[in-house]
Chains A and B, each alone.
Chain A
Amino acid sequence: MTTMEPILSLIGVKFEHKLRAGRTLPIFNNINLSVHYAEFLGIVGPSGCGKTTLLRIMAGLAKPSSGKVIFRGEELKGPTPRISIMHQNPTLIPWLSVWENVYLAVSSRRDMTDLEKREKTSLFIDLVGLRGFESAYPAELSGGMRQRVALARALVTSPDVLLLDEPFSNLDPLTAINLSREVEYMWLDSSLPPASVVMVSHSIEDVVQLSDRVLVLKGRPAEIIAEIKIELERPRNRKSEKFYHYVDEIFTLVS
């Protein structure tokens, strides 16, 4: 599935939090990683190891203290609609309807006509299965539906890379599985965005279910201590012995 061409890579990335009185708290000192074209990359690690920070650096939302982020051959200077991020919390705007929330993501685009923007908005609302809910407000939706709106909003910009930060951890298990299947389906369909996905999660099962490759982050400052290729047929069966073998292996590394 993976080719050797990286779409997004971190080179020697260092990040530290500034504390009071000039002290700093290093989160990671030297992270090097690449996300390949059409790859689903999983990142796991114990809580507090900086997974979310790493994702925000990839999105251009946080600046590394040193090191570079290269996106499609150029240095990433700030957030771009070509890299979308979806959080654990759907972060919908409460006073905008489902349709308006999704439309917001393309509203400032100059390379699209209004008609295109509207068509795309409707298309992605359809794709996440929310047809008929366009005029509903976030407060009127269930947790799973809100996360679907967030997914539609993340994809309507046709991003090359979709970054997922614990996307299913606020959902009940059944909803989580359904939504993860949909994410997988969109990613597999080459006519639909995104090309590559990076998912951060502490649910090792979710990560093994979806990823081509898993990076294990650990320590303080955190380092990548292992890289595991998941060579299982899709769709993956969570009950198979091989699946459990991977889960066990990663679990041992994380704990």
Chain B
Amino acid sequence: MAIEGLIEIATALSLSWLRLGAALLLSVAMSLLVGIPSGLNRNVERVVLPVLDVLQSVPILGFFPIAVYFFISLSPILGPELASVFLIFTSTFWNMAFGVYEAVRAIPPELYDVSRIVDLSISRRLRQIIVPACIPRIVSQLPPSIANGLYFLTASEIISFGEKEVAVKGVGSLISSYVGRGDAFGIVMSVGVLSLSIALVFALVINPLIAWSEKYKFEAVAAPRGPVITVRLGPIRRILTTVKTRMPTVSVQLHFPSTFVNVGQMARHIQRFLLIMTLSAAAIFFLTVFSGYISDLPRVLAELSAAVGELGILSLFDAAGMSFVRIAVALIISLSWSIPVAYAIAKSENLKRYALPLIQIIASIPAPIFFPLIANAFLSSSMLVEAGSILLILLGTQWYIFYSIVGGFLRIPTEYRELSQSYRLGRLRELFIIFVPFAMPSLVTGLITATGGAWNTLVVAERLVIGGLVFETPLPGLGKLLSQYTEMGSVYGIAVIVFFMTAIVVAFNRFIWRPLYDRAIQMVRE
């Protein structure tokens, strides 16, 4: 039995990694396709970034209807696989797209001037300047993407929607079935083997990739930039301004190139063309998927308002409030351990070299699959389930905060770190007079990503269904609500909750994080 079990686990594991690999490749390709035009062209940027930002705050369950109606009805055989890859993609893509966009924006303008002077062709510009410039950011986004994809492992392998339940073969669905059968040996083995495989993937693939990508960094050759910390929050800031000013119309003017070929202008035309193609493809996609709804808009509206009535505005706010408290607690815990640990790492070469890669592996071990192991302990009291829910949120989001703080601390110019040495400021004063303020912009960026991510993890953290086990917070929560409505298969209920949740995230960014970020940037500007 043991051998057979191991073979089953190994097969499932390989399939899961293959799907994750496919989703990551798709994410890289799509983020280049979307990120490069947005980084190069203001008009594209104004359209694409808000769309990305809104979609990024849609939790994975929000994509279930598309996965079910589009992919599974497309082909009963291949459909489930495609749907699963698509769902993984929805948790690995967004950060990468923003990464590519920021990398393109950060290319020194002098480089474009040079390429114009030596008259590089567009494809050469792409191959030799733009794509290489994106490589470090793409590679550095792989760990968070993998961690995120694994976090929703079970969710993306068992797509249940109302009556429909489709499970693809994979380690997530396998663990779920072990839990259903009460096979403790199977659970422990598969969780163990999965953790081992994560460590191996990081040691053999990700870390070498990170080392290789170093050579594409502009920072390696550029002179030290002085004290201004160059963390940019372009996307979020710009998005928020656009939300206010409405989406601009994209004007298309395809001039026929004159005899004097202006490469720059042609590049712009081609980008514009690509953009139009992409946007129309997206539009056609959504129209096909939702054509049924669009044809009878009044009915849809009626259904939606019925769903709102059924959910009740007050109970929506009530659930959101409880969810907010859980997230806030998780954020406070994250901050209070991240700051001292990041400080210790920034102060010690050895910790930087050995602890950081280790933490990266730990960060990507998916917390939800451990829950069956400690199920009995948690299910014994409702207080513990509440604590477990906060723990799940914490495990899913604390790393964003931790890494942004470490990044911020490590970017403090040496001369400033030496100041406190020279004047013997002592640890506490060094931390709060020099380190924390310097890392503020980076810290706020981390908080934005973490809160955004936290709202997404709610769909698993507040109501986790594995096999026959259901961990459900006794108090209300938006994630719990969404999970319940997905199980019921209520498209309109899902739409209302997803819209509500997205609105909360966008409002948070607009009214809390953005002003905070602006102040932080103002503060570190010398």
CA of A84 to CA of B421 in the docked complex: distance in angstroms? 11
Contact residues in A for B413 (Cβ distance below 8 Å): 91
A139 to B425, CA, bound (A): 23
> How far is the CB of A36 from the nearest CB of chain B, in Å?
23
Stretch at the interface among A69-77, A103-111, A125-133, A231-239: A103-111
Q: Does B415 contact A (CB under 8 A)?
A: yes
Residues of A within 8 A of B415 (CB): 87, 89, 91
Min CB gap A108→B, angstroms: 5
A-facing residues in B223-262 (Cβ within 8 Å): 226-227
- Check if A108 sits within 8 Å of B422, measured CB to CB: no
A94 close to B523 (CB less than 8 A):
yes
- On whether A61 and B418 interact (CB within 8 A), knowing A91-B413, A95-B437, A138-B526, the answer reads yes
Interface locus among B188-196, B264-272, B322-330, B426-434: B426-434
Q: Which residues of A contact B523 (CB under 8 A)?
A: 94-95
> Which chain B residues in 141-156 approach chain A with CB under 8 Å?
none
Query: Which residues of A sit under 8 angstroms from B426, Cβ to Cβ?
Result: 108
Q: Beyond A79-B418, A91-B416, is A105–B526 a contact (Cβ under 8 Å)?
A: no
Interface contact A105-B421, CB-CB below 8 Å: no
Tell me if A78 is interfacial: C-beta within 8 Å of chain B.
yes
The verdict on A93 contacting chain B, using a C-beta distance below 8 Å, is yes
Counting CB contacts under 8 A, is B301 at the interface? no
Would you call B419 an interface residue if the criterion is a C-beta within 8 Å of the partner chain's C-beta atoms?
Answer: yes
Q: Which residues on A sit within 8 Å (CB–CB) of B525?
A: 94, 139
**Is residue A81 within 8 Å, beta carbon to beta carbon, of the partner chain?**
yes
The distance in angstroms between the C-alpha atoms of A48 and B429, with both chains bound, is 34
A201: Cβ under 8 A from any B Cβ: no
Whether A94 touches B421, Cβ cut-off 8 Å, given contacts A89-B415, A108-B426, A138-B526, is no
| A59 CB within 8 Å of chain B | yes
* Cβ distance B477 to chain A, nearest Cβ, rounded Å: 38
In the bound assembly, the distance between CA atoms of A80 and B429 in angstroms comes to 17
Contacts of A87 in B (CB 8 A): 415
The answer to whether the Cβ of B423 comes within 8 Å of any Cβ in the partner chain is: yes
* A157 CA / B419 CA spacing, docked (Å): 13
- Name A's B-contacting residues (CB within 8 A): 59, 61, 78-81, 84-85, 87, 89, 91-96, 104-108, 138-139, 157
A–B Cβ pairs within 8 angstroms, 17 of them: A61-B422, A79-B422, A81-B422, A81-B424, A85-B422, A92-B526, A94-B524, A94-B526, A95-B437, A95-B523, A104-B423, A104-B433, A105-B422, A108-B423, A108-B425, A138-B526, A157-B423
Residues on B facing A (Cβ under 8 Å): 226-227, 413, 415-416, 418-419, 421-426, 429, 433-434, 437, 523-526
